[in-house]
């Protein structure tokens, strides 16, 4: 992955970005999806069903590359590791940021080269390090990012002396929920004040290529000051490290670019984020790197569910559907808001106040509460928006619910890319 260099690349990118706006809007709302097309998919493949539009994934990648023409853009694959998505992202020119041996494996299987893969070890199990070091022998350009001096020792024990990056704990967190802020959480990264010493001590033995930090997820317009502060701190750190050990290849300031989950929320102004990032980083030898996950896939995916049971309660109509917290965990885990639309409704259906609940025996198993929805009747299909990021990835089989199927769209044409799990699959591992 080479970064397009300098001001010329940047200007060209800007111009292209502006002219492409009409075909590549900054956000794709749930209301923009074709309801009849989604109903047809639900009928053909059954529900719950994830639908991933690979064309939208490509558009999101293109907008990122236009906003950051002189940076390396790395897709944080944990947002959606499906093969069809990874291939589309790779073909769109984004590198891969992997958080586990499994993600490294999936990136390689999707055609990524070692040079395009960064493995960021978070408290890595021995099995993960064994595996990644093993893969590194065949792919010596792979980069390993460590978040503790201890992990350096564990890599050394395994004979690793390749491309190393140090993750700093910048002491600045950002994000839409406490559970997604990582920047000031001691679990992540080497304490800021110890990074330069560690860098100096490992530089002779490993190929020290970069510094890394990640503030958290869901950076919005309001949270940009946190992002700016993190980048500034990383710029200062990079200058310190570069003065002591020589030029770095990159300074990776993480991901966390937010998407508007609510219909009325404005999209993130990517150009402003890019400008603020470059300005805050200041003068460093290393190339800027960013690691968006959610931004690449969130609005490329919807979840389709079917209404099973409608029940009139005192203060709301409880609409029971066949998707729940095991299909899409975000509402239960983060109190996350997802737009929901009745795609079976015609214009005559009046809006009611609905609580959409899943089939799991947990009170947290609701997709929304007291939401205005066009009257959903039994058998109607609902679409849940912005489900492409951390949707299928966080699905589980709790309550012995098989995980959903997934289709990918290319030019509007659907193909099944992940079959629905079966009841037999659920017991497959038992001996
Ligand atoms: C999760 C993660 C990201 C991506 O976060 P998004 O909010 O999906 O953009 C980037 N870098 C690291 C290290 C992460 O853990």
| pLDDT tens figures, 186-210 | 889 999 999 999 999 999 999 999 9
Mutate which of 78, 259, 260 for ligand 1? The one with the most ligand atoms within 8 Å of its CB, which is 78
Atom of ligand 1 nearest to the CA of 180: 7
Please report the pLDDT score of residue 316 as a whole number.
86
**Mean pLDDT to the nearest integer, 87-96:** 98
| pLDDT tens figures, 34-43 | 999 999 999 9
Q: Which domains does the chain have, with CATH numbers?
A: 7-53+298-426 (2.40.37.10), 55-294 (3.20.20.10)
Q: Binding site: what residues are annotated?
A: 256, 291-294, 330, 334, 362, 390
Determine the distance separating the centroid of ligand 1 and the alpha carbon of 185, expressed in angstroms.
Answer: 14
| pLDDT tens figures, 236-248 | 999 999 999 999 9
Q: What is the CB < 6 Å shell around ligand 1?
A: 76, 78-79, 97, 99, 120, 214, 217, 254-257, 291-295
Please report the pLDDT score of residue 18 as a whole number.
46
- Percent of residues, the chain, with pLDDT higher than 90: 85
Q: Among 61, 98, 165, 361, which one carries the catalytic annotation?
A: 361
Q: Is the pLDDT of residue 107 over 60?
A: yes
Mutate which of 166, 231, 290, 293 for ligand 1? The one with the most ligand atoms within 8 Å of its CB, which is 293
Atom of ligand 1 nearest to the CA of 258: 7
Q: Is the pLDDT of residue 7 over 70?
A: no
Determine the distance separating the centroid of ligand 1 and the alpha carbon of 50, expressed in angstroms.
Answer: 21
| pLDDT tens figures, 133-190 | 999 999 999 999 999 999 999 999 999 999 999 999 988 766 666 666 666 678 899 9
**Is 361 part of the annotated catalytic residue set?**
yes
Taking a C-beta distance cutoff of 8 angstroms, is the pair 26, 59 a contact?
no
Atom of ligand 1 nearest to the CA of 219: 7
Average pLDDT, the chain: 92
Pairing of strands 250-252, 117-120: unpaired
| pLDDT tens figures, 311-328 | 999 888 999 999 999 999
Please report the pLDDT score of residue 183 as a whole number.
67
| pLDDT tens figures, 345-387 | 976 789 999 999 999 999 999 999 999 999 999 999 999 999 9
Instruction: Name the pTM for this structure.
Output: 0.93
- Percent of residues, the chain, with pLDDT higher than 70: 91
- Write the CA distances from 243 to 66, 97, 169, integer angstroms: 31, 27, 20
């Amino acid at each position: 992955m080479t970064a397009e260099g300098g001001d010329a690349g940047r200007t060209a990118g800007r111009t292209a970005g502006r002219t492409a706006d009409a075909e590549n809007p900054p956000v794709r709302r749930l209301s923009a999806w074709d309801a009849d097309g989604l109903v047809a998919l639900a009928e053909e493949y059954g529900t719950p069903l994830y639908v991933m539009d690979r064309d939208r994934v490509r558009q999101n990648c293109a907008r990122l590359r236009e906003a950051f023409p002189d940076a390396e853009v790395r897709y944080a694959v944990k947002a959606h590791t499906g093969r069809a998505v990874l291939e589309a992202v790779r073909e769109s020119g984004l590198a891969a940021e992997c958080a586990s041996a499994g993600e490294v494996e999936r990136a390689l299987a999707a055609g990524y080269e070692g040079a395009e893969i960064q493995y960021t070890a978070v408290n890595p199990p021995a099995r993960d390090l064994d595996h990644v070091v093993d893969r590194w022998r065949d792919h010596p350009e792979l980069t390993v990012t460590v978040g503790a001096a201890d992990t350096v020792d564990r890599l050394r024990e395994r004979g690793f002396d390749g491309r190393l990056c140090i993750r700093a704990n910048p002491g600045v967190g950002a994000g839409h929920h406490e559970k997604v802020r990582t920047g000031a959480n001691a679990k992540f990264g080497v304490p800021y004040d110890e990074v330069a010493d560690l860098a100096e001590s490992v530089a002779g033995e490993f190929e020290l290529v970069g510094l890394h930090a990640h503030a958290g997820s869901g950076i919005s317009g309001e949270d940009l000051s946190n992002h700016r502060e993190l980048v500034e701190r990383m710029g200062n750190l990079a200058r310190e490290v570069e003065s002591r050990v020589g030029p770095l290849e990159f300074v990776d300031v993480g991901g966390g670019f937010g998407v508007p989950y609510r219909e009325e929320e404005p999209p993130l102004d990517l150009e402003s984020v890019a400008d603020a990032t470059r300005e805050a980083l200041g003068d460093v030898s290393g190339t800027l790197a960013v690691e968006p996950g959610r931004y690449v896939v969130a609005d490329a995916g919807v979840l389709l569910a079917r209404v099973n049971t409608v029940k009139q309660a005192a203060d709301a109509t409880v609409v029971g559907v066949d998707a729940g917290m095991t299909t899409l965990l975000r509402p239960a885990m983060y109190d996350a808001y997802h737009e929901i639309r009745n795609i079976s409704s015609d214009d005559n259906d009046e809006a009611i106040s609905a609580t959409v609940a899943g089939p799991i025996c947990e009170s947290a198993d609701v997709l929304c509460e007291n939401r205005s929805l066009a009257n959903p009747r039994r058998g109607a299909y609902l679409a849940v928006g912005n489900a492409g990021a951390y949707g299928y990835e966080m699905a589980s089989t709790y309550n012995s619910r098989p995980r959903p199927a997934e289709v990918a769209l290319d030019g509007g044409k659907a193909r099944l890319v992940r079959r629905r799990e079966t009841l037999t699959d659920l017991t497959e591992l038992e001996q």
